[in-house]
């Protein structure tokens, strides 16, 4: 059988793992600096937990797991279940018949489920971060995979807009430390609801936002075509035409909205909230050039209720490398009311691709072995291992070439593996209590005392 990978998945080499770990370490450090605590949830959830939370298109991308209850049943029941299963296969596909679990689509809904199950034990506001893989049955392409990592930070139990301001700071601090220049695009779900009310399409809010969210992919004509296909009238579309000719001045755009939202309570509330986040972020020293009010930013997820964020790299052609927003009603579907929340996510895989394209990884982002000890066999091997033990106790990486082979072969191994130094501990070195090593990058060879080597 010819080995192959499932579409949309990848293997990671040691270099890639080290670089991914470099990104994760910076994010994790900043999450904890901002007061977030770690959490992990299972890789799969009950299907009912996930469906209906991501909108029409999102639900289609959920990876469903074939029902395993047949294998768990006793013999007599198993036969009956197998017969029922076969009948189900002969009918049009029904997830109710074949599946009851699914791989998690994101980290936010499982987090909301966790909060709902444990709300009596948690201290609110509760701040958690989570770094785990998620799965989507999407069409693989550059920067889009079926298995990928999300790095989330969420706060639940607070309606304060200062949380939005804090998350803007978390985004910019983290990307600054990764040396990735970014712009944060911001909108507010209440503004989108206000626009739907203004255009007389309140009953088509989800259809409107799903289509609008595709503007950067399919352009104005594509969005208009999709709105018409979703039974939104040309008259309503004409009223929304100003959305496609926004200026670069956020305040000017907000003033225009205030005029159009006269008497529109929810729309004006969205403008007020957005003004607060932008103003206070600037008051804290954030450059307004890093923040863009993007009125067409919709992020077609059903659960956002307020602020919406999307982060884009300034110097690379890539989709969003981060996103999030406020979701004040998500735990209600699990029977727990009045637990407002807001969260953001860092797209690890896309951040990696941007940093790779722009050559932003520092040399120390890789975890190469510091010393390879040449194997001369006999007593020298044992003495080399004794010295390796001492280096490891000091936290210095070292290994012994496993066989007594020709020195050229050992050199080649060290060079291909990216090991920095090749150490020679032969009969003379043992006798004189010295160590000879060659720096393979500089090509310099030194002999030093054993004490100096270990210092």
- 89-106 pLDDT tens trace: 444 444 455 688 999 999
Percentage of the chain exceeding pLDDT 70: 92
pLDDT of residue 82: 54
pLDDT of residue 216: 79
pLDDT of residue 92: 46
Q: What is the mean pLDDT of residues 177-191?
A: 96
* Whole-prediction pTM: 0.85
Q: Which residue positions form the known binding site?
A: 106-108, 136, 150, 154, 299, 303-304
Predicted confidence (pLDDT) at residue 388 exceeds the cutoff of 90: yes
- The segment(s) of the chain belonging to CATH 3.40.50.800 are 368-454
Q: Which residue positions form the known binding site for L-histidine?
A: 106-108, 136, 150, 154, 299, 303-304
Confidence band, pLDDT 50/70/90 cuts, at residue 397? very high
What digits encode the pLDDT tens for the residues 8-65? 999 999 999 999 999 999 999 999 999 999 999 999 999 999 998 887 888 899 999 9
Confidence band, pLDDT 50/70/90 cuts, at residue 174? very high
SS (H, E, C) the chain: CCCCCCCCCCCCCHHHHHHHHHHHHHHHHHHHHCCCEECCCCCEEEHHHHCCCCHHHHHHCCCEEECCHHHHCCHHHHHHHHHHHHHHHHCCCCHHHHEEEEECCCCHHHHHHHHHHHCCCCCCCEEEEEEEEEECCCCCECCECCEEEEEEEEEECCCCCHHHHHHHHHHHHHHHHCCCCEEEEEEEHHHHHHHHHHCCCHHHHHHHHHHHCCHHHHHHHHHHHHHHHCCCCHHHHHHCHHHHHCCCCHHHHHHHHHHHCCCCHHHHHHHHHHHHHHHHHHHCCCCHHHEEECCCCCCCCCCCCCEEEEEEECCCCCCCCEEEEECCCHHHHHCCCCCCEEEEEEEHHHHHHHHHHCCCCCHHHCCCCCEEECCCCCHHHHHHHHHHHHHHHCCCCEEECCCCCCHHHHHHHHHHHCCCEEEECCHHHHHHCEEEEEECCCCEEEEEEHHHHHC
pLDDT of residue 69: 58
pLDDT of residue 93: 45
On the 0-12 / 13-18 / 19+ scale of CB atoms within 10 A, 403 is exposed
- The segment(s) of the chain belonging to CATH 3.30.930.10 are 14-49+105-357
Architecture of domain 368-454: 3-Layer(aba) Sandwich (3.40)
- For the chain, the average pLDDT equals 89
Ranges 141-145, 274-278, 299-303, 340-344: which has the least confidence: 299-303
pLDDT of residue 45: 96
What digits encode the pLDDT tens for the residues 217-236? 898 899 889 899 998 999 99
pLDDT of residue 152: 98
pLDDT of residue 244: 86
Give CATH superfamily name and number for 14-49+105-357: Bira Bifunctional Protein; Domain 2 (3.30.930.10)
Predicted confidence (pLDDT) at residue 76 exceeds the cutoff of 80: no
What digits encode the pLDDT tens for the residues 289-300? 899 998 888 875
Predicted confidence (pLDDT) at residue 306 exceeds the cutoff of 70: yes
Predicted confidence (pLDDT) at residue 129 exceeds the cutoff of 50: yes
Q: Between residues 355 and 245, which one has the greater pLDDT?
A: 355
Q: Between residues 253 and 107, which one has the greater pLDDT?
A: 107
């Amino acid at each position: 059988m010819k080995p192959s990978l499932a579409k949309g998945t990848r293997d990671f080499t040691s270099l890639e793992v080290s670089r991914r770990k470099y990104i994760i370490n910076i994010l994790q450090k900043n999450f904890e600096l901002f007061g977030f605590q770690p959490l992990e949830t299972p890789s799969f959830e009950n299907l009912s937990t996930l469906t209906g939370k991501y909108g029409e298109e999102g639900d289609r991308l959920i990876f469903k797991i074939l029902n395993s209850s047949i294998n768990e049943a006793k013999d007599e029941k198993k036969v009956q279940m197998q017969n029922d299963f076969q009948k189900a296969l002969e009918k049009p596909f029904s997830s109710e018949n074949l599946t009851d679990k699914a791989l998690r689509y994101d980290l936010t809904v499982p987090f909301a489920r966790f909060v709902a199950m444990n709300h009596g034990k948690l201290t609110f506001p509760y701040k958690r971060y989570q770094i785990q893989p998620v799965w989507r049955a999407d069409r693989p392409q550059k920067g889009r995979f079926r298995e990928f990592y999300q790095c989330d930070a969420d706060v639940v139990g607070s309606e304060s807009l200062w949380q939005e301001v804090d998350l803007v700071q978390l985004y910019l601090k983290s990307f600054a430390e990764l040396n990735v220049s970014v712009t944060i695009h911001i909108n507010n779900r209440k503004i989108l609801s206000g626009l739907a009310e203004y255009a007389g399409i309140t009953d088509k809010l989800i259809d409107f936002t799903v289509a609008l969210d595709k503007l950067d992919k399919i352009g104005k004509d594509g969005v208009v075509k999709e709105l018409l296909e979703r039974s939104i009238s040309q008259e309503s579309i004409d009223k929304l035409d100003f959305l496609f000719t926004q200026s670069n001045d956020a305040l000017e755009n907000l003033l225009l909205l205030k005029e159009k939202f006269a008497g529109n309570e929810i729309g004006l509330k969205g403008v007020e909230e957005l003004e607060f986040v932008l103003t206070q972020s600037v008051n804290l020293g954030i450059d307004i050039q890093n923040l863009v009010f993007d009125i067409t930013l919709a992020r077609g997820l059903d659960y956002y209720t307020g602020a919406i964020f999307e982060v884009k790299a300034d110097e690379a052609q890539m989709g969003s490398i981060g996103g999030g927003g406020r979701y004040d009603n998500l735990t209600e579907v699990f029977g727990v009311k009045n637990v407002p929340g807001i969260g953001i996510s860092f797209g690890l895989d896309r951040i990696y691709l941007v940093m790779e394209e722009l050559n932003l990884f520092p040399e120390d982002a890789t975890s190469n072995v510091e010393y390879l000890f040449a194997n001369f066999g006999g007593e020298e091997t044992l003495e080399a291992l004794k010295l390796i033990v001492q280096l490891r106790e000091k936290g210095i990486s070292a290994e012994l070439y496993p066989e007594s082979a020709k020195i050229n072969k050992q050199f080649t191994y060290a060079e291909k593996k990216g090991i920095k130094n090749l150490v020679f501990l032969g009969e003379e070195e043992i006798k004189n209590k010295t160590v000879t090593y060659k720096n393979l990058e500089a090509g310099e060879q030194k002999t030093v005392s054993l004490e100096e080597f270990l210092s």
